[in-house]
Structure 1
Amino acid sequence: MTTSKQEIEVKLYTPNLKSIIAALEANGASLKSERVFERNVRYEDHEFSLTPQGIVVRLRQDVRTLLTFKGPGIVENGIISREEFEVVVDDYDMMDLILGRLGYYPFMAYEKYRTTYELDGAEIVLDELPYGNFTEIEGDVATIEVMIQKLNLSDAERMPNSYAGLFDIVRQNMELTMAHLTFDAFEGINVPAEAFIKQGETKPPVVDDSDD
């Protein structure tokens, strides 16, 4: 199965996911997918030209394997809009081999647990990553803004960077050396909120790439 769409979403830094679950349930949200573990691998070419262009090529494994391409994004008020193509593939190893033959190599892996809800035309995902918890809301811009109000998230910081981009910022700020964003690598490490702010800035930086 292949899907193509214009992805419109906002990423919010939300350490306390329990309060968001309570708000979702109080508003009658439906559980679309129970908590599942994901392993994501980002690919680059040998010139490392994709990330600077805001392009994402990714293989994701959860209950299935998904190949994703994302084009450059436009950010307005913390909401990211970009073209996205996805296809379910049967064989992860074969897809990895094909990408290699096309000149792409895996340069970064990241892990997370994801729980997915639906409410009033929006998809809301609760993400648990090795460095913190986040909520992503996907829909049209008006729906996203309404959902932020409904879930009492008006004060939550909007994070226009990708999880990979935030990983780079955290590593720089905390002087970490791990190559991949995994739970094993972050075991015993507490990441404070200020670690997501790029040095020299007072708020999270403008997006350079994005992947959810």
Structure 2
Amino acid sequence: MNSTKQETEVKLYTPNLVAVEEAVRSAGGTLVSERVFERNVRYENHEQSLTPQGIVLRMRQDTRVRLTYKGPGVIVNGITSREELEVEISDYGMMDIILARLGYHPFMAYEKYRTTYELNNGEIVLDELPYGNFTEIEGEVDTIEALITKLNLAANRRVPQSYAGLFDVVRQNMELDMPHLTFEAFQGIIVPEEALQPNVQSTADDEAKG
């Protein structure tokens, strides 16, 4: 039996999440999960080859614990499609040991608060991260585009990077050296919108890198 899943989603930079949530509610969105704290840990192998290949191996802990694999993504018009395989596990610590025995080690942790809605066959999540607020919409491409229009988000910037990729951008642009994307690490640090733009300090001849 083929149990693979294709994830198709868009990430939008939305500083005013209150306005987005009001728009979702006004449009008839259904609250699926109230605001919850998430801690995510990305894993790498000895060769550090997963991230350069666009592969994600992650453990996520909120009200439950999940192990996730994501394959390399294809981005069209800011919408990313990739294979996503996920399983719920009962023991975070034991899974961490199993991954270590298989040659994988934690290399980056990142935190966020997430609120989840459903609307018109799409999933809408409101994410609060240490460096800013974002809205992710998951579903079929036509559904995503229709929801962007319905929620008046067409003018908001589509972000092709993962949250870990954006962390690299912010660290480079702001010359930060913290290893993990946590609220504690960013305490007292204000991240301007321009710091979320790749190569903001590059010259005009430099090629932008996602």
TM-score by length of 2: 0.94
Q: Percent same amino acid at aligned positions? A: 67
* Cross-structure match for 1:51: 51
Deviations 1:133-190 (A, max 9, x none): 0000000000000000011100000000000000001001001111100000000100
Does the 8 Å CA contact 1:39/1:111 hold for their aligned counterparts?
Answer: yes
Residue 4 of structure 1, CA deviation: 3.4
* Cross-structure match for 1:95: 95
RMSD across aligned positions (CA): 1.2
Residue 201 of structure 1, CA deviation: 8.0
Residue 198 of structure 1, CA deviation: 1.5
Residue 125 of structure 1, CA deviation: 0.1
Corresponding letter in the other structure for 1:39: R
Task: List alignment gaps of at least 5 residues for structure 1.
Answer: 208-212
* Cross-structure match for 1:32: 32
Relative distance call for 1:78 and 1:201 in structure 2 (3 A) is farther
Task: List alignment gaps of at least 5 residues for structure 2.
Answer: none
Q: Which runs of structure 2 are paired with 1:143-162 in the superposition (5 Å)?
A: 143-162=143-162
Corresponding letter in the other structure for 1:17: L
Residue 196 of structure 1, CA deviation: 1.0
Q: Distance in 1 between matches of 2:164 and 2:50?
A: 13
TM-score by length of 1: 0.93
Does the 8 Å CA contact 2:198/2:209 hold for their aligned counterparts?
Answer: no
Relative distance call for 1:18 and 1:90 in structure 2 (3 A) is same
Q: Distance in 1 between matches of 2:98 and 2:39?
A: 19
Q: Which runs of structure 2 are paired with 1:176-195 in the superposition (5 Å)?
A: 176-195=176-195
Alignment size in residue pairs: 203
Relative distance call for 1:104 and 1:146 in structure 2 (3 A) is same
Q: Distance in 2 between matches of 1:14 and 1:37?
A: 19
Q: Post-superposition, which runs of at least 4 consecutive aligned residues in structure 1 deviate over 6 A? A: none
* Cross-structure match for 1:210: none
The DSSP-based 3-state class of the residue aligned with 2:72 is coil
Does the 8 Å CA contact 1:4/1:86 hold for their aligned counterparts?
Answer: no
